[in-house]
């Protein structure tokens, strides 16, 4: 049985964006509403300070907002952190969890990522759960095992009943301009799909698996048509409306 999945293109603005950056959002909204209707769900994950503005200003063009991280707890003494419920309250519908930059900089473990994903689901958000190998792990031939372990540890059982999204982002491809070959992407996404269907059955067949890592206007068309690639998680190229729109249009 084949499951039809509407692709999703998410922009991760990382720690970039002031209120003035909303001009790019306005430009993107203009392109999305005047051109051909996008064939993908479009999400922007800006810094937390402008999530509410993105949610408000993007709505009429169908642009959805997401957070870049959340705490596993609903509230409490966690200075500087943000709860999933706060993002939802600001109008977010998605949240990235377990991005490799957070796993590296804050030592986030699979267990913590799973707890964040559970908190997101509890707050009514759809978690975008990130996994991906280092270059050394790929060179050693361990990429699939590393990603399989991350998936097993990071995806909560609640994914059986709720929507989760997986983002495969090879760490060595992030911000480097380098990407895996289409065959390597197909192999990894196929392996992720098998793991999802083994664990969640038919539900796993419908989980979106995004590719991320130097996804650009120049390579989007090719990468987004690889089997089991159900959209993309875009960093640098999501900051400019024109580039991001070109990637969305490549679906």
- Give the separation between CA 99 and CA 130, rounded to whole angstroms: 5
- Give the separation between CA 205 and CA 120, rounded to whole angstroms: 21
Residue 104 interacts with ligand 13P (CB under 6 A)?
no
Per CB under 6 A, the list member of 214, 228, 230, 249 interacting with ligand 13P is 214
What is the chain's Cα-based Rg?
17
Active site residue 169: yes
* Cα dihedral 182, 186, 192, 196 sign: positive
Both structure tokens of 192: 């992720």
CA distances from 21 to 31, 50, 110, 176 (A): 16, 9, 33, 23
Both structure tokens of 105: 């900089």
Of the candidate spans 19-27, 74-82, 169-177, 202-210, the one that interacts with ligand 13P by CB under 6 A turns out to be 169-177
Residue 215 interacts with ligand 13P (CB under 6 A)?
yes
Q: State the minimum distance, in angstroms, from the CB of residue 147 to ligand 13P.
A: 15
Give the residue at shortest CB distance from ligand 13P: 235
| Binding to ligand 13P in span 29-88, by CB under 6 A | none
Of the candidate spans 34-42, 138-146, 180-188, 208-216, the one that interacts with ligand 13P by CB under 6 A turns out to be 208-216
Per CB under 6 A, the list member of 175, 194, 201, 227 interacting with ligand 13P is 175
Active site residue 99: yes
Both structure tokens of 221: 């068309």
Name the residues that contact ligand 13P, by CB under 6 A: 12, 99, 169, 174-175, 212-215, 233-237
Catalytic positions are 99, 169
């Amino acid at each position: 049985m084949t499951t039809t999945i509407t692709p999703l293109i998410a922009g991760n603005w990382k720690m970039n964006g002031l209120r003035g950056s909303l001009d790019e959002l306005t430009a993107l909204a203009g392109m999305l509403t005047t051109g051909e209707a996008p064939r993908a769900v479009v999400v922007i994950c800006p810094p937390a300070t402008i999530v509410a503005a993105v949610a408000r200003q993007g709505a009429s063009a169908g642009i959805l907002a997401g957070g870049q991280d959340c705490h596993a707890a609903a509230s409490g003494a966690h200075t500087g952190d943000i709860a999933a419920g706060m993002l939802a309250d600001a109008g977010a519908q998605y949240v990235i969890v377990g991005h490799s930059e957070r796993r590296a900089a804050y030592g986030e473990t699979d267990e913590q990522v799973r707890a964040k994903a559970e908190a997101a689901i509890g707050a009514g958000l759809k978690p975008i759960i990130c996994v991906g190998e280092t270059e050394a792990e790929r060179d050693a031939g361990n990429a699939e095992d590393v990603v399989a372990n991350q998936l097993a540890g990071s995806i909560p059982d609640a994914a059986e009943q709720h929507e989760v999204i997986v983002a495969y982002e090879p760490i060595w491809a992030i911000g480097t301009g380098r990407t895996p070959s289409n065959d390597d992407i197909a192999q990894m996404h196929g392996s992720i799909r098998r793991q999802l269907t083994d664990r969640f059955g038919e539900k796993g067949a419908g989980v979106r698996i995004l590719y991320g890592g130097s996804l650009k206007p120049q390579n989007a068309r090719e990468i987004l048509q690889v089997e089991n690639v159900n959209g993309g998680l875009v960093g640098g190229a999501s900051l400019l409306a024109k580039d991001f729109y070109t990637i969305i249009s490549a679906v």
